[in-house]
Structure 1
Amino acid sequence: MSLINTEIKPFKASAFKNGAFVDVTDADLKGKWSVVFFYPADFTFVCPTELEDLADNYAEFQKLGVEIYSVSTDTHFCHKAWHDSSPAIKKIQYTMVGDPTGVISRNFEVMIEDVGLADRGTFVVDPDGKIQIVEITAGGIGRDAKELLRKVKAAQYVASHPGEVCPAKWKEGEKTLAPSLDLVGKI
């Protein structure tokens, strides 16, 4: 079953953010746009490149009113140690959520049960707590924060412009489509 348009399930977790340990719940994701960004593990190879890319683009997400939550099955203590020891991870200002029990990873259906790690899953959650975008890639394939920004802008546009949709490669300010009988077979 697809997670698109489903409400996120309840969770409570400990996280590391800006030098402090904080609690995060599903309620924190409601009332604003959020990106939940799962990755397999701290102290690995592709993961720091992705998280650094998000960190380098975090200000752009913030301008859109979007909060980022990176999640792995590591603990919040491990996230702090990684933050303190890696130049790439030291850039992170968003919330790094620990999911050692795997509850959040299972809620979003990205848990790789036989190894206890999360797949590379990206979820965009709207202010109502409903999942609007799902992207899951194989472990060796890194994601692109700028493409994620484009998708978030499209999701926000569609949410605020009922009756319009964003075509392939749509970028902010470009023409959208208004689905109708007149367009059938014309595109």
Structure 2
Amino acid sequence: MSLINTEVKPFQAKAYKDGQFIDVSDADLKGKWSVVFFYPADFTFVCPTELGDLADNYAEFQKLGVEIYSVSTDTHFCHKAWADASDVIKKIKYTMVGDPTGAISRNFEVMIEAAGLADRGTFVIDPDGKIQIVEINAGGIGRDALELLRKVKAAQYVASHPGEVCPAKWQEGAATLKPSLDLVGKI
């Protein structure tokens, strides 16, 4: 079953952000756009490249009113230790959520049960707490923050312009489509 347009299931977790431990829940995802970015584990290989890429582009997400939550099955303590040990992770300003029980990973259907780790899952959530974008990558395939930013802009555009849709490779400011009988077979 697709998670598209479903509401985020309730959760509560401990997280690491800006040198502090904080509490995070599904309620924090309401009222603004959010990206929930699952990755397999701290102190690994592809994961720091992805998280560093998000950190480098975090200001652009913030300009759009988007908050980022990275999630792994590590604890919030492990996230802090990783930030202390890695210059790439140290630059992260978004929230790093610990999911040691795997409950959040299961809620988003990205838990690899045999490994106790999360798949590389990306979820864009609208201000109503509904999932608008789902992307799942195999463990060896890293994601691109700029492509995610493009998709978030498209999701925000569609949400604020009922009756319009964004075609493939749509970029901010480019033409959109208004589906109608007149367009059938003409694209």
* TM-score (ref. length: structure 2): 1.00
Q: Cα deviation per residue 1:96-152 (whole Å; 9 max; x = unaligned)?
A: 000000010000000000010000000000000000000000000000000000000
In structure 2, the residue matched to 1:3 is 3
Deviation, 1:48, is 0.0
Q: Distance in 1 between matches of 2:29 and 2:37?
A: 13
Describe how 1:143-158 pairs up with structure 2 within 5 A. Answer: 143-158=143-158
Describe how 1:51-70 pairs up with structure 2 within 5 A. Answer: 51-70=51-70
Q: Cα deviation per residue 1:9-37 (whole Å; 9 max; x = unaligned)?
A: 00000000000000000000000000000
| CA RMSD of superposed structures (Å) | 0.2
In structure 2, the residue matched to 1:95 is 95
Give the unaligned 5+ runs of structure 1. Answer: none
In structure 1, the residue matched to 2:130 is 130
Identity of aligned residues (%): 87
Give the unaligned 5+ runs of structure 2. Answer: none
Deviation, 1:8, is 0.2
Q: Distance in 1 between matches of 2:72 and 2:106?
A: 11
In structure 2, the residue matched to 1:36 is 36
The residue matched to 2:143 in structure 1 has which SS? coil
The residue matched to 2:84 in structure 1 has which SS? helix
Task: Count residues in correspondence.
Answer: 187
Q: Distance in 1 between matches of 2:160 and 2:32?
A: 13
Moved over 4 A (4+): none
Q: Distance in 1 between matches of 2:94 and 2:81?
A: 16
Q: Distance in 1 between matches of 2:84 and 2:57?
A: 20
Q: Cα deviation per residue 1:47-99 (whole Å; 9 max; x = unaligned)?
A: 00000000000000000000000000000000000001101101100000000
